[in-house]
Amino acid sequence: MLHKLFRLLVFTLAITTPVLAIEIRTPETQEDEQAILDQYLLPDGELKDTLDELFTTYKLAQSFGNGTSVRTKDAFRKAGFKFLKGTRITEHPLMPGWVVKLGRANRVHQHVSRIWMAEAMRAVIQEHDLTHVKIPEKFLYHIPGTPQKLVDDNYAVISEKVECSNDRNNRARLRQLPFQTLNEIVTIIKNVVYNDPSPSNIRVLGDGATVAIIDTEIIHWKRGWDVARCIKQFVTYLSLEQKVAIAKSR
Ligand SMILES: Nc1ncnc2c1ncn2[C@@H]1O[C@H](COP(=O)(O)OP(=O)(O)OP(=O)(O)O)[C@@H](O)[C@H]1O
Ligand SMILES: [Mg+2]
């Protein structure tokens, strides 16, 4: 019975949420890359000076994996970075309020997709007048000594830090979200085919009714997912009441 309800929910969400033509700016040519860099390259200022100083002094390269991950993590630690998660997500006491995200080895446009997916999500927010979903500000930081090409190895993503509860608490808080917020999240998932809508990526803010999507990366191995599959994943994190409320409204 529950299983049936769930399937019906995913189906109705997939067919009834209106989709506008949101452009996702994946770069294909050098001109495309330049246009993204023109808009999102971290501007000169204190933040960039600090990163330049740390990256050049400590010779921080970005190649994780292939046996180099431990050494690279150590280098970042020596430079004063603290890892928030895994080997890629860091912060530094000299840059309060910012998170520095790094790429994964052997990817081209997974990590840097954080930038154009965030842009696409902001476009959905604007087009649909959504008021309960925030997307943190993000910039690209060119890693000194690497080529200019806009690929994962050559850029860090600098993201505004969001004050939010830890993963486990957030999971519970997501299950308390009001219907309107859930509806807005579904609208975003649907319009940009957001394939990683998990509680660690969609964080409930202090008011309990607004969320920030802090991880806007398109996951490489889930690229074949369609809208229904993405929504199906999101809905698994919700309470039965929330599932029913969404299903009823469609
Ligand atoms: N903007 C932010 N503000 C606050 N905390 C953040 C922010 N971005 C990331 N974090 C913290 O870092 C964690 C991992 O970040 P993120 O979700 O962007 O990386 P990820 O792509 O999931 O990493 P991995 O692929 O290694 O699992 C988050 O779950 C959160 O705890
Ligand atoms: Mg994440």
Ligand nearest to the CA of 113: 1
Structure tokens at 76: 């970042």
CA of 89 to the centre of ligand 1 (A): 6
Pairing of strands 211-213, 138-142: unpaired
Pairwise pLDDT comparison (86 vs 7), residue with the higher score: 86
Residue 1 has pLDDT above 60, yes or no: no
Q: Whole-number mean pLDDT of the chain?
A: 89
How many angstroms separate the CA atoms of 60 and 72, rounded? 7
Q: pLDDT category, 166, cuts 50, 70, 90?
A: confident
What are the pLDDT digits (tens) for 173-198? 999 999 999 999 999 999 999 999 99
Find tokens 């049936």 and name the residue: 4
Report which secondary-structure segment, H or E, holds 213.
strand 211-213
- CA 33 to chain CA mean position, Å: 19
The pLDDT value given to residue 249: 73
89 C-beta closer than 6 A to ligand 1: yes
CA of 197 to the centre of ligand 2 (A): 9
100 C-beta closer than 6 A to ligand 1: no
Ligand nearest to the CA of 89: 1
Residue 9 has pLDDT above 90, yes or no: no
What are the pLDDT digits (tens) for 66-82? 556 677 888 999 999 99
215 C-beta closer than 6 A to ligand 1: yes
Q: Whose CA is nearest to atom 13 of ligand 1?
A: 85
Q: What is the mean pLDDT of residues 95-112?
A: 90
Q: pLDDT category, 107, cuts 50, 70, 90?
A: confident
Residue 20 has pLDDT above 60, yes or no: no
Residues facing 85 on adjacent strands: 89
Q: What is the mean pLDDT of residues 99-115?
A: 90
Q: Where are the domains of the chain?
A: 2-249
Residues facing 169 on adjacent strands: none
Q: What is the mean pLDDT of residues 138-153?
A: 93
Q: Which of 13-17, 206-210, 224-228, 230-234 has the lowest mean pLDDT?
A: 13-17
What are the pLDDT digits (tens) for 212-234? 999 999 888 888 899 999 999 99
162 C-beta closer than 6 A to ligand 1: yes
Q: Which of 12-16, 30-34, 48-52, 58-62 has the lowest mean pLDDT?
A: 12-16
Which among 76, 83, 85 is the best mutation to test ligand 1's pocket, defined by most ligand atoms within 8 Å of the CB? Answer: 85
How many angstroms separate the CA atoms of 171 and 113, rounded? 25
Which among 73, 82, 89 is the best mutation to test ligand 1's pocket, defined by most ligand atoms within 8 Å of the CB? Answer: 89
Cβ-contact 141, 158 below 8 angstroms: yes
The pLDDT value given to residue 115: 98
**Quick count: other Cβ atoms within 10 Å of Cβ 155?**
28
10 C-beta closer than 6 A to ligand 1: no
Residues near 100 by beta carbon (within 8 Å), at least 6 away in sequence: 51, 81, 89, 90, 91, 92, 141, 156, 157, 158
CA of 215 to the centre of ligand 1 (A): 6
202 C-beta closer than 6 A to ligand 1: no
The pLDDT value given to residue 223: 84
Residue 18 has pLDDT above 60, yes or no: no
Q: What is the mean pLDDT of residues 106-112?
A: 87
